[in-house]
Structure 1
Amino acid sequence: MQRYFIDAHQCSSDAIRIEGSDAHHITRVLRMQLGAQVICCDGKGTDLLAEVKAVEGDAVLLRVHKRMTSRGEPAIAVTVAQALPKGDKWEWVLQKGTELGAVSFLPVLTTRTVVKLEAKKADKKRERWQKIVKEAAEQSHRGRIPVVEPVIRWSPLLDLFPTYDRVLFAYEKGGQPLRHVLEESRCERMLIVVGPEGGFTAEEAEQAQAAGAVAITLGSRILRAETAPLALLSCLMYAHGEMGGEPL
């Protein structure tokens, strides 16, 4: 069933008003008829089963039939902090990371980050990134839309480490085996930090660990910049029982 995210102002007790691109998608792309059903998500973990009741100009009016708790949100909240990779690799991380269950994304500028993001283009880029995340959240039946935070530099990122229960720093030059780290304890809020194509500098690795991050290894093979965060995120979700089965 088709899903759409809505804001609080679009919904009353039993009615929803959809406008803009989502209304166009309902009427022009899917060509839904009166009586067709959709799921609307309030972005706070509640799904609303609704029926198309009318079309008024560029708006679609829905009647709410049932409210349900979303089943698409993981119990663990993982934020992905990724040094911006080249090309469209970051957009791939956003899309697939959303499908896997990340709650937010932090694009980072590190010493070896090749991407040069002009300040005047940053807001427009972020709008595009947030749109990618929204569409991925709808497709994967998420109950919330992950947030793409503004681009952040390395030093301010380090200052955020204490706000998480645990920070995992993926380091290609070695660290603790991931399984050992996951077996030590469970936590609710986790930050994973992944470097650019050229990796982190030795100084950045020292700074991350001094700020409280746990350096981990993802094995003997070197993963691409866009592969590493998704591999790590998948392992975390599996270990916490979010990929089916019981937690490790």
Structure 2
Amino acid sequence: MTKVLRLGVNDRVELFNGKGGLIEGCIQSIDRTGVDFVAFEDPKLVLPQSTQWHVFASFGTLKGGRADWLVEKCTELGANSVTPLLTERSPSISENRVDRLQRVILAAAKQCQRLHEMTLNPPTKIVSLLPIVAQSKLSFVALAEATPVISVLTSSRKEPSGLIIIGPEGDFTEKEVNMMIAAGATAVGLGPHRLRVETATVALLATLMLWSDSQQTSNI
């Protein structure tokens, strides 16, 4: 607060715990060991947003910080959770990487002042995803040459939660696609170009978050 944000004595501060807890106050004093904070009121609990998007992305093989970037942007955009999806062409993700991604989520939540920290779920396989798809009323899987996502959304009904499914580099196998479609997923296209895993994830999530927000606004 003092070294990066350059805050000083009597500056107002909001503290949050990543689980909806929020408390307002100010900096009372500063020394080399830290900051003394004075609360103006009791902590309050802020409920999470009503629409929740759950991301299943095959990013286990991404290198050079690209997986970090994907998770960071999902946190900023407001995804409820991210699950590493294990597929035939992206069959694993290292345990060390999962630990690092947890730290990325925490830092991103602080940066974007997100009151509810995004959940990073354990890696899951396609066969374990299928029952989740079957139970969800909205499940979108990004596929090349599918119907553009905007066209699909014009005829989609707003639901309180949904799934976003992104394949690995090299895409899903035909068998995997058929299983997800049979379980109830809807194929959506993201334009004429071939997108990287992280680009497709952010593009689809941003579109659906804005769509959800417009649906909520129109119902007020």
Q: Establish whether TM, by shorter chain, passes 0.5.
A: yes
Which blocks of at least 5 consecutive residues in structure 1 are unaligned? 1-25
Alignment pair present for 1:160 and 2:132:
yes
1:196 matched residue in structure 2: 168
Secondary structure at the aligned position of 1:106 is classed as strand
Alignment pair present for 1:100 and 2:80:
no
Deviation at 1:149, TM superposition (A): 0.8
Cα 1:237/1:59, change in 2 over 3 Å:
same
Distance 2:200 2:167 in 1: 9
Secondary structure at the aligned position of 2:101 is classed as helix
Report percent identity of matched pairs: 29
1:234 matched residue in structure 2: 206
Deviation at 1:160, TM superposition (A): 2.0
Amino acid at match of 1:98: T
Distance 2:161 2:117 in 1: 17
2:100 matched residue in structure 1: 128
Distance 1:176 1:79 in 2: 21
Cα 1:223/1:165, change in 2 over 3 Å:
same
Deviation at 1:110, TM superposition (A): 0.6
Distance 2:58 2:204 in 1: 15
Q: Which moved more, 1:75-84 or 1:48-57?
A: 48-57
Which blocks of at least 5 consecutive residues in structure 2 are unaligned? none
Cα 1:82/1:52, change in 2 over 3 Å:
same
| Aligned positions of 1:19-168 closer than 5 A | 26=1, 33-53=8-28, 60-66=35-41, 74-84=49-59, 85-87=61-63, 88-113=65-90, 116-118=92-94, 122=95, 124-168=96-140
Relative contact order (alpha carbons < 8 A, sep ≥ 6): 1 or 2 greater? 2
Alignment pair present for 1:177 and 2:148:
yes
Deviation at 1:206, TM superposition (A): 0.2
Amino acid at match of 1:91: D
Secondary structure at the aligned position of 2:170 is classed as coil
Distance 1:218 1:76 in 2: 22
Distance 1:60 1:150 in 2: 36
Distance 1:227 1:236 in 2: 14
1:218 matched residue in structure 2: 190
Amino acid at match of 2:79: A
Deviation at 1:44, TM superposition (A): 3.5
Deviation at 1:245, TM superposition (A): 7.2
Distance 1:231 1:107 in 2: 17
Amino acid at match of 2:62: K
Secondary structure at the aligned position of 1:227 is classed as helix
